[in-house]
Structure 1
Amino acid sequence: MKRTLLIAALLAFLITPFTQANASTYAKTQYPIVLVHGLFGFDDVLWVDYFYKIPYKLANKGATVYTATVSPANSSEVRGEQLLGYIDQVLAHSGADKVNLIGHSHGGPTIRYAASVAPEKVASVTSVAGVNHGSKVADIVRAGLQDGSTLEGVAGTVFNAFANVLELVSGSGISALPTDSIAALNSLSTQGSQSFNARYPEGLPSSYCANDGKVLEDNGVFYFSWSGGSTYTNVLDVADPLLAVTGLAFGEKNDGLVSSCSSQLGYVIRDDYRMNHLDEVNQTLGIHHLFETDPVQVFITQANRLKSIGL
């Protein structure tokens, strides 16, 4: 009965127009929100954080927000285990029983792992352009690096060094968390994603692009997702040309690094925002499509959605 009432309440909310009444508590969820970055994520570089202005704006609307510390590059399982340790710290600090996880890009599989392994600690999973069925960009890179080859070793060293430089520049120093860019690449490939999905299937649609994932899984966790479906969104954004090029790897709607169909998980809020992979986290410096919803507002609205169903 409780499960039926929860689903009914969610469906009622989804068809109800949003308002900004009681703005100071608009995003005040019952459980803390934990943001989880994707590949090569960082704390902040020159005062610009990965989730640009999003934690501040959420907190300003009443949310309790944490930004997880996980390896900038490693496998989904390794990052997921690190996230579980971070969740324990959040629960101890906040006194809460559970958390609401929101992960971008590789943060998607990372939070799915945590929810699958320890559902008693997770109220909801929200995947933002999550690499849930792999990325064709990762497939191309993986195909160009023969397993065990010298080139693969050199590439791994270079990208690991890049991740460490990001940590240093962001002021966090090189963390004790291990960095393994090749393991990350394997996780983000189609083959790696399929293997991961076989072990942690919660929230997934019945098939690629079916868009029929369960919003409330048997493990008691609510699943949501959204993503962009555009690559070049603003001529002033210096990152857009690169994403326009990488987007050519896909023969379908994508955000430059992840296809819209690959991003689908649980209840799909939208998979066609006029946003690219960086716009989704309000990068670069908040520059996005002039006639699309502010990416920050999408996060705030999701927090309100979670609040409205008691999460």
Structure 2
Amino acid sequence: MKFKLSLSSVCAAAVVAGVALAAPAAHAGVQAKTKYPIVLVHGFIGFDNILGAVNYFYDVPGTLRNEGATVYVASVNPSQTTEFRGEELIQQMKQWAAKDGVTKFNLIGHSHGGPTVRYAAGTVPTMVASVSTVAGTHFGSKVADVIGANTTPGGGFDQAATAGLKLISWLTGNKTTSNTDLLTALGALSSEGAAKFNAKFPAGAPTTTCGVGPDKATIAGNSIRFYSFSGTSVKTNGWDVSDAILAETAKYFGSEPNDGLVGRCASHWGKVIKDNYTWNHLDEINQVLGTIGSSSPDPVAFYVQHANRLKWAFL
């Protein structure tokens, strides 16, 4: 069935996405020298790095550091609930804070990393200066809805996909590999799962359907900035192996603008800076191998630009 091909292919693409090493910095700058460190948080089927060398956010951490930023890259389970991943993130934030004397963080999450960073903000708001989400699955994904509804628990596809996800987790050195589970993650990424999560963590929510939310929200007396971004293109580069895969998953959205895995409106949270970049879901993290569309904006430059936005926001 088509949905089976789509998810297994996406799993494969996620692994392929990590085969290149981040390029060394060319010069030192200050564009991304933020007051508070930046934390990058990956999404579903994602990783911090593979075998300590291959970055999920391809060429992003090194470039940000080269432009003056202090950057941490979180390692959370690639296939679990938002709350589970969020607790992992919080523990790492506490460790970084204790080790380096950090008081607050600028959290940036891609895909399922979007709700994950919102969980952290809602749980330890004193540690969060800002929440930025790139194609965040705030209102779920139609791909998760369809695949979850058509996957038999304990069936061949479920077991094979979960095994693949556990391999990704193991390669990253994540300490919760045994907890990796396909259907658990799909439940969190579904429209229903997202709605339940949003009821518990509403800060920054859009005030109208497909609208925008506040650029600042107060949680337990702490003011936190919220930003969101997303793409609405699917086939952007004929040399990119992931484009054909995302073209298949994009069909689940019908006529709704999407990036292949997340709908445009579903990505809205807080201040929507831009929701129609000519990127697909992997272009947003400069994958696969940086092969984005020739006329598309540079994703790495985008992260530097946003870091500069955060720099000026907290002067």
TM bucket by the smaller chain? 0.7 to 0.9
The CA distance in 1 between the partners of 2:141 and 2:170, in whole Å, is: 28
Q: Which string of whole-angstrom CA distances, capped at 9 and with x for unpartnered residues, describes residues 172-210 of structure 1?
A: 276457212211100100011011111101111023312
- Choose 258-267 or 90-99, whichever is displaced more: 90-99
The CA distance in 2 between the partners of 1:30 and 1:138, in whole Å, is: 37
Query: After superposition, where does 1:100-249 map in structure 2 within 5 Å?
Result: 100-145=106-151, 151-154=152-155, 155-170=157-172, 172=173, 175=176, 178-210=179-211, 212-219=212-219, 220-249=223-252
The CA distance in 2 between the partners of 1:252 and 1:242, in whole Å, is: 18
| Shift in alpha-carbon separation, 1:266–1:140, aligned structure 2, 3 A | same
| Shift in alpha-carbon separation, 1:61–1:242, aligned structure 2, 3 A | same
Q: Which string of whole-angstrom CA distances, capped at 9 and with x for unpartnered residues, describes residues 123-162 of structure 1?
A: 00000100000111011012213xxxxx212344322211
| Shift in alpha-carbon separation, 1:183–1:168, aligned structure 2, 3 A | closer
What is the percent sequence identity of the aligned residues? Answer: 46
The CA distance in 1 between the partners of 2:174 and 2:37, in whole Å, is: 26
Which of 29, 42, 49 is matched with 1:37 structurally?
42
Structure 1-normalised TM-score? 0.87
Q: Look up the SS of the partner of 2:217 in the other structure.
A: coil
Which of 88, 97, 105 is matched with 1:82 structurally?
88
- 1:298 is displaced (CA, Å) by 0.9
Query: What letter matches 2:288 in structure 1?
Result: T
Which of 293, 297, 302 is matched with 1:293 structurally?
297
The CA distance in 2 between the partners of 1:130 and 1:23, in whole Å, is: 31
- 1:269 is displaced (CA, Å) by 1.2
Question: Which residue matches 2:310?
Answer: 306
Q: Look up the SS of the partner of 1:300 in the other structure.
A: helix
Q: Look up the SS of the partner of 1:239 in the other structure.
A: helix
| Shift in alpha-carbon separation, 1:177–1:96, aligned structure 2, 3 A | farther
Q: Look up the SS of the partner of 2:262 in the other structure.
A: coil
- Runs of 4+ deviating beyond 6 Å: none
| Shift in alpha-carbon separation, 1:304–1:185, aligned structure 2, 3 A | same
1:259 maps to 2:260: no
Query: What letter matches 1:129 in structure 2?
Result: A
Question: Which residue matches 1:51?
Answer: 57
Gaps of 5+ in 2: 1-26
The CA distance in 1 between the partners of 2:149 and 2:170, in whole Å, is: 30
Query: What letter matches 2:138 in structure 1?
Result: N
Tell me if the contact between 1:98 and 1:122 (Cα under 8 Å) persists in the aligned partners.
yes
Query: What letter matches 2:38 in structure 1?
Result: I
The CA distance in 1 between the partners of 2:164 and 2:293, in whole Å, is: 29
- 1:169 is displaced (CA, Å) by 4.0
Tell me if the contact between 2:48 and 2:74 (Cα under 8 Å) persists in the aligned partners.
no
The CA distance in 1 between the partners of 2:174 and 2:225, in whole Å, is: 35
The CA distance in 1 between the partners of 2:71 and 2:312, in whole Å, is: 17
